[in-house]
Amino acid sequence: MNKVVHFETPVNDVKKAQDFYGTFEAQAYGRDKGIMVRVHCYTANHSGTVRSSSEIDEVAYFSHGEYTKGFDPAPAVNLILDDLKKKGLIE
């Protein structure tokens, strides 16, 4: 997991103990109806600055409300953000 995280968002010192957050399944964004996506989410502490790299074009920070009102929301992302908000982890 550390190699993947460093490759995708080159942060430093991702701690060895990543915690599983959850699995979310939803309609795949921009795909034909019935095509599903499954996202496995983890949390971990790290040092360094999260920035775009490799397959990630841009890093942005926004609230739940900003995402749902300002973007064409991906169903899986909505599920994840709804869960994070419900648990008080984001605004």
Supply the pLDDT for residue 32.
94
| pLDDT of the residue at 54 | 72
- String of DSSP letters for the chain: -HHHHHHHS--B---S-PEEEEEEEEEPTTS-TT-EEEEEEEE---BS----BTTB-------HHHHHHHS---HHHHHHHHHHHHTTS--
At residue 77, the pLDDT reads 92
* pLDDT tens for the chain, residues 1 to 91: 555 565 556 666 666 657 899 999 999 999 999 999 999 998 888 777 777 877 778 888 888 888 888 778 899 999 999 999 999 998 8
- What per-residue confidence (pLDDT) applies to 31? 95
Residue boundaries of the structural domains of the chain: 2-86
